[in-house]
A and B are shown apart, each in its own frame.
Chain A
């Protein structure tokens, strides 16, 4: 591959009628790494994937994948990419093996190779026993695994996974993560979109946070967390009515004015050492009852909240919910 970057996008723009789905998106993914494109529904993740996989022409900007331009060299590019989406795009009335063979033949693999590759992938994705069963009898997790296997049939150097675990139950989700970690990531460049922070945290080398068509932050998970400064102390009061008094008591030793988030008082601190003792002492002196005190590293959730002013996930567990969550004001492209 001529380029050091397997995926390179500059100033990508795309509008649907009067909605700006992408408003100047830059992405750079070094070959062999996993980029997590993280954002809420409607942020523009799927639009970005559709442009990079040649499904949608951009209105402006340019992008190269595996060294090939996504618009002018789309036809050549298609043999170098694999796409697994949120839909588990497999044919229900074919068996697992037939699905993979069909995809292999449509990639124009040499004679005999589609069948060999199908057997190999079914084995690798723990679907051998179900190889000759119709896909309509598969569970949701099995379909996603088959979909992922289909994306790998031609051993593409660049792989796009568009919300690979959306809609899966927690157990299938973790199983799919393990599959992606162990079997997808070796040497393949992966662009993974997700609205789940823990998913990006776990699978991606680097993360681009996207919101309302803009990349608003970029870096490794740790770098993003560091952008928020250091640690904080979470204090739960016995009586929330004491909040104002507690903020007064703690402010002198805090890095910033403490704030109440979901009933927990968050206090950014300068230094870990002695912080708990000092906080407890001051609250005791003020006669405020403490229920719990804990030292926290910022989570990606905090990063997202700080960067965008809203959380990435609107439901509590962020799992197994197929319904469309509207987090931003912008309509989601997935709903189109």
Chain B
């Protein structure tokens, strides 16, 4: 019990450390605020008029997709931070301390949940101003926000693994983007899957991003859900289970670069 308590307190100490970075290096804040706003406005007004989204206005169609995409990238701070910690020898210091083996990673990923919350709030405000309208009961909307944070948390663990594996902070960042960017586009996030050519469409239909985005359209807009809501939670938990295990194992053997 006490080791569990230490794991929790160690995690909180390190999450606080990650969050303190934001006011200290405020340029980082741009990527949680200005960048998502920019994406909402660009997609809504540049592509919006050209993309057919039967049953929805484009801004309604877009918002769940673009928030899910933003969530999946929120964890890049974890990759960047871990990669820097490795390079500067901080991971060695942490590993020589009598603290939980998971706390460094759990602290970083937990801090991402806070920054992701900021991004969600900012994007919803901008979306509503641009014409987005919720069409679902409040409980569904709240469940939707929980799903967004959980999915973002899952990708923080993916980025934790990327950060511990790549050779430099820059490499960590670009590796993350190369892997995740196409996944988010070959999904139902920005265009209806039916408009894609056959092979892409087949991929997009099984892409977890499609499942999560469709779940969000159901929770925010009352679109037919099918099994997507359960599927989205299941995918998120599965990603956390796999990547948390891989990352902690990698952390235990981390080597200074």
Assess whether A336 is interfacial by the CB under 8 Å rule: yes
Contacts of A106 in B (CB 8 A): 10, 13, 94, 97-99, 103
A42 CA to B95 CA in the complex, in Å?
23
Bound CA span A105–B24, Å: 21
Give A136 to B4 CA distance when docked, in angstroms. 33
**A87–B256 contact, CB under 8 A?**
yes
Would B25 and A107 count as touching, CB distance under 8 A? Answer: no
CB-contact partner of B92 in A81, A87, A134, under 8 A = A87
Tell which of B9, B20, B89, B96 has the most Cβ of chain A within 10 Å: B96
Q: CA–CA, A85 to B256, complex, Å?
A: 11
Q: Which B69-114 residues sit within 8 Å CB-CB of chain A?
A: 88-90, 92-99, 103
Task: Choose one: B10, B25, B96; the contact of A54 (CB below 8 Å).
Answer: B96
Q: Is the CB of B92 within 8 A of A85?
A: yes
Shortest distance between the CB of A132 and any CB in chain B (Å):
12
A78 at the interface (CB under 8 A from B): yes
Q: How large is the interface on A (under 10, 10 to 19, 20 to 34, 35 or more residues)?
A: 20 to 34
> Is A83 in contact with B92, judged by CB distance below 8 angstroms?
yes
Produce 1/0 per residue, B3-22, CB < 8 A to A.
00010011001100100110
Q: How far is B3's CA from A270's CA once the two chains are assembled, in angstroms?
A: 65
Within the assembled complex, what's the spacing in Å between the Cα atoms of A125 and B37?
46
Report whether over half of chain A's contact residues are helix, strand or loop; otherwise say mixed. loop
**Across the two chains, which residue of chain A brings its CB closest to B24?**
A93
In the bound complex, how far is the Cα of B92 from the Cα of A5, in angstroms? 25
Q: With A75-B98, A93-B21, A102-B17 known to touch, is A336 a contact of B90 (CB < 8 Å)?
A: no
**Chain B proximity of A102: nearest CB distance (Å):** 6
Interface membership of A275, Cβ < 8 A: no
Binary flags per residue of A68-111, CB closer than 8 Å to B gives 1, else 0: 00000001101101010111111111100010001101111000
Query: Are B89 and A85 in touch, CB under 8 angstroms?
Result: yes
- Interface flag for B255 (CB, 8 Å): yes
CB pair A94–B17 under 8 Å, yes or no, is: yes
A83 is contacted by which of B14, B96, B99 (Cβ under 8 Å)?
B96
What is the chain B residue whose CB lies nearest that of A134? B24
Q: Is the CB of B88 within 8 A of A89?
A: yes
Question: Is the Cβ of B88 less than 8 Å from the Cβ of A105?
Answer: no
Interface presence of A190 (CB below 8 A): no
In the assembled complex, A269 has its CB within 8 A of some CB on chain B: no
Tell me, rounded to whole Å, the shortest Cβ–Cβ distance linking B251 to chain A: 12
What CA separation (Å) do A105 and B99 show in the bound complex? Answer: 9
Q: Mark A134-151, 1 if CB is under 8 A from B, else 0.
A: 100000000000000010
Write the nearest CB–CB distance from B122 to chain A, whole angstroms.
Answer: 23
Chain B proximity of A167: nearest CB distance (Å): 12
A53 within 8 Å of B (CB atoms): yes
Tell me, yes or no, whether A4 is within 8 Å of chain B by CB. Answer: no
Give the top 9 A-B pairs by smallest Cβ distance, nearest first: A87-B89, A89-B89, A78-B98, A79-B98, A89-B93, A93-B24, A83-B96, A106-B99, A93-B21
26 A-B residue pairs with Cβ-Cβ distance under 8 Å, sorted by A, are: A54-B95, A78-B96, A78-B98, A83-B93, A87-B90, A87-B92, A87-B256, A89-B89, A89-B93, A92-B88, A93-B20, A94-B17, A94-B20, A102-B17, A105-B10, A106-B13, A106-B97, A106-B99, A106-B103, A107-B98, A108-B6, A108-B9, A134-B24, A150-B93, A336-B255, A336-B257
Residues of A within 8 A of B (CB): 50, 53-56, 75-76, 78-79, 81, 83, 85-94, 98, 102-103, 105-108, 134, 150, 336
Q: A83-B93, A91-B17, A107-B98 are in contact. List 14 more A-B contacts (CB 8 A).
A: A54-B95, A55-B96, A78-B97, A83-B92, A86-B89, A94-B24, A98-B20, A102-B13, A105-B10, A106-B103, A107-B99, A108-B9, A108-B99, A336-B255
Q: Residues on B close to A: CB < 8 A?
A: 6, 9-10, 13-14, 17, 20-21, 24-25, 88-90, 92-99, 103, 255-257
